[in-house]
Structure 1
Amino acid sequence: MTGTAFSLRPRTDPPPSVSVAFTGLVIALLCGVGEAITYTAVQLDRPNADIGSLATGLIVRGGIYLVVLGVAVRMARGARWARMVLTFGIGVIGLASLIIEPLAATLSAKQISDLFDNLTASAVITAAFRTTHILAVLLAIPAMYRPTARRYFRQEAVSQR
């Protein structure tokens, strides 16, 4: 199916900005996987762990991550629709979901030191994954809109007509 609208292969190599965006998205996904594994490990260590619920959560997250990876691959190959889906899905909804919990905790703390009371290793690991995840998204989304990336997506859209 080379040369058709269903072709997965781009007609030209992506510019560095698109490669940076793709790498950022993959890093964000890996951080999400790491955070999910950390959360599950902590929950499994508790005596009343609901294994069914944890397994369901992992399956749902895994499915979402696979879909996002598939869309990211399409974006890297020049699909404009994929860039738009990632911008809204990861750059708006996903980013908001990552920021809301820490922001709420910060705003509800009476003092900054309250945020560090009862700090655990798993909390530090989760914070590291989440911070890296946020930074990767903040790198990836603007990279998809650099001038060279815009030309690449326009070129791919024209060549698929």
Structure 2
Amino acid sequence: MTKVRALTESDLPAIAAIYAHYVTTTVATFDETPPTADDWRAKAGGVTGAGLPFLVAEVDGEVAGYAYVSQYRPKPAYRHTLEDSIYLAPGRTGRGLGRLLLGELVAAAGRTEARRLVAVIADSGDPSSARLHEKFGFETVGRLRSVGFKHGRWIDTVLMQLDLR
């Protein structure tokens, strides 16, 4: 059975493991050192403490992915703009979990004071993340060229935006 639910403390080791996969083997994130479960505890506390959603996709009792929103940038004038993050466990892509998570995340973000939701997507050559966001009405609003260097190559980011109000 598949369900999307709020994060619990017991999910943190699985979330750390999922993200570590992307840190060490892909350019989907520009982090180069995987955060620990304690690092994730602090991050999740910041997200949920700000009244923002941190969601988990669970399949047959196992964490299969997660998604959350956070403030787009730390400066006060950005307080009405959020950024989404979605990661699926290796082997769990292409099964509709990203769609379930993003749908719930957009709905939850719409219940906040935010006006805009932004996606910053590393252009790895795989269009699946951008396509997923497009299905929910996100529009491409820009590209930052060669802003990340990881695994021996320069990577662009694609900026997408959704109006929540």
Asked if these proteins are the same fold (TM beyond 0.5), I'd say no
Which structure shows the higher strand fraction? 2
TM-score under structure 2 length normalisation: 0.27
Which structure shows the higher helix fraction? 1
TM-score under structure 1 length normalisation: 0.27
The structure that has the greater radius of gyration is 1
Structure number with the bigger relative contact order (C-alpha 8 A, sep ≥ 6) is: 1
